[in-house]
Structure 1
Amino acid sequence: MQNFSASPQEMVVSLYRNRNLIGALIKREVIGRYRGSIMGILWSLLNPVFMLTVYTFVFSFVFKARWDGGSNSKAEFALVLFAGLMIFNIFSECVSRAPGLILSNVNYVKKVVFPLEILPWVAIGASLFHAFVSLMVWLVTYMAVYGVPHITVIFLPLIIIPLVFFIVGVSWALASLGVYLRDAGQFIGIVTTMLMFVSPIFYPVTALPEQYRKFLYMNPLTPAIEQIRDVLFWGKLPGFSLLAIYTLVSIIIACVGFACFQKTRKGFADVL
């Protein structure tokens, strides 16, 4: 039986070696999602516009919500809210699909020699494409209301890169688990819904009593959500110390997730 390297070096080498295949599969994933629809890929633009409108109406008009230190502007609330949603949507889209990545690509397991470890990269690549479209919608809206965006927007990659490593690590672990435990998909659906409401997406961290805020920061999405709002809307520099720790932890999670996937993949064909 073939042995698969679980080293961090192999994780990086595999990504580089299969970069063209990953790019092709991401393109197919994005186009395939809208194949057969009348408006096609235009839906990737309309979806964030629609969600931005709905969330703004519900939370700023119905619930009269506002951000601490901010104004009562509906546009401000919408933009700050949507910045946090972009982070959560990247996470939710990838992690929700992760338990079924191998199950939905059985032909890659049984019929051909295929680098299964790239499937989470493909999923997150497609998710990043949609996040990029959402970011363009965000920037256009910001410029229409406030003018030129803050220069701190250049630090956005420093926030996204560790998030990508964190998500891909979790995806590897869940993709492996999903093969052996079919209930994983149902469980992850519950967890992602819970994380949506225990993340500071619809409310600021300061909305919680101070003694409970430390629990909110245990949420792995909280640092990314807070940092993206700082660099995009508030014009603040990111917390470089926090980002350094977040990056280190994310890389460790990626290495552990990759190792779990590689150690268990030899049994995929038998189970499927």
Structure 2
Amino acid sequence: MFRPWRHRELLLTLIEREVAGRYRGSIVGILWSFLNPLLMLLVYTFVFSVLFKVRWESASDSKPQFALLVFTGMLVFNLFSECLVQAPGLILNHANYVKKVVFPLQILPCVMLGAALFQTLVGFIVWLVFHLLVFGLPPLTTLLFPLVLLPLVLFTLGLSWLLSALGVYLRDIGQVIGVLMSALMLLSGVFYPVNALPAIYQHWLYMNPLTLVIESSRDVLIWGVVPDFGPWLGQLTVAGIVAVLGRAWFEKSRQGFADVL
């Protein structure tokens, strides 16, 4: 059985290397981790609040509040999207590890997820500073944000194991995932409130695994509402099953990696 804590030193080293490698050679280096979410916050706020004039019924008309609502959705979506877009090529890009018998290949999706969580943490710091400067202290329910993200983290890890193994045998899967993520960004309630849609479409939107996480994140970070733990437990159960199945698929498939690569 795979136990990440048995490889914690290797895991942390590879995550650090992954994060540092993204900005190696750039002038401002890791500062881009803060600049990217900040620029994203400004661009999306302008496009959707000024050009498209999207509004939340329960929110004021202030652009800073709209910025926080959109940015919260983007924090959740980017965590999920970053991992799934990279997952199909993960083993292919680390083919040199495949023939190393002592290297735990199953740790690679964990490294990818760890780097994505670091980016989420940086984005949350940007969110927090923005909130403190404009609105003051966020609600106490902000402390529940990691709990809200937990099912998504497990779900993402399970899919990452699945797709990283599948990508070795089906090279086109990466292109398919890229298209799906572009569509999913517009179908997850990132840029608009779910209740702005007709009731029949709201039902379909909530079938998207990201929608409930995004809505719950806004509840705890902005509205100060404690999430309903009934749906949360359902999400956690499904995410746990996906993680177990994804891990099992990876273990079964890895036996043929060396032959294909």
Q: TM-score range by the shorter chain?
A: over 0.9
In structure 1, the gaps of 5 or more residues are: 1-9
What's 2:107 paired with? 118
**TM-score normalised by the chain length of structure 1:** 0.94
Q: Please list the CA deviations of residues 88-115 of structure 1 after superposition, one character each: whole Å capped at 9, or x if unmatched.
A: 0000100000000100000000245210
Distance in structure 1 (CA, Å) of the matches to 2:79 and 2:58: 27
Give yes or no for the alignment of 1:179 onto 2:186.
no
The equivalent position to 2:41 in structure 1, one of 42, 52, 69, is 52
Tell me the CA shift for residue 20 of structure 1: 1.2
Distance in structure 1 (CA, Å) of the matches to 2:201 and 2:27: 48
What's 1:22 paired with? 11
Tell me the CA shift for residue 141 of structure 1: 0.6
RMSD: 0.8
Q: Please list the CA deviations of residues 13-57 of structure 1 after superposition, one character each: whole Å capped at 9, or x if unmatched.
A: 2x1211111111000000111011110000000000100000111
What's 1:140 paired with? 129
Which stretch has the larger CA shift, 86-95 or 208-217? Answer: 208-217
| AA in 1 matched with 2:159 | V
Distance in structure 2 (CA, Å) of the matches to 1:75 and 1:190: 31
User: Percent of aligned pairs with the same residue?
Assistant: 56
What's 1:243 paired with? 232
Q: Superposition pairs for residues 142-157 of structure 1, below 5 Å?
A: 142-157=131-146
| AA in 1 matched with 2:252 | K
- For the residue of structure 2 that corresponds to 1:102, the secondary structure is helix
Tell me the CA shift for residue 223 of structure 1: 1.2
**TM-score normalised by the chain length of structure 2:** 0.98
| AA in 1 matched with 2:138 | P
Distance in structure 2 (CA, Å) of the matches to 1:257 and 1:57: 39
Distance in structure 1 (CA, Å) of the matches to 2:178 and 2:154: 21
Give yes or no for the alignment of 1:208 onto 2:197.
yes
What's 1:100 paired with? 89
| AA in 1 matched with 2:209 | P
What's 2:246 paired with? 257
Distance in structure 2 (CA, Å) of the matches to 1:250 and 1:112: 30
Distance in structure 2 (CA, Å) of the matches to 1:17 and 1:255: 18
In structure 2, the gaps of 5 or more residues are: none
**Number of residue pairs aligned between Structure 1 and Structure 2:** 261
Tell me the CA shift for residue 254 of structure 1: 0.3
Q: Superposition pairs for residues 55-66 of structure 1, below 5 Å?
A: 55-66=44-55
| AA in 2 matched with 1:144 | L
| AA in 1 matched with 2:195 | T
- For the residue of structure 2 that corresponds to 1:85, the secondary structure is helix
Q: Is the 8 A contact 1:87 1:225 kept in 2?
A: yes
Tell me the CA shift for residue 238 of structure 1: 1.1
What's 1:6 paired with? none
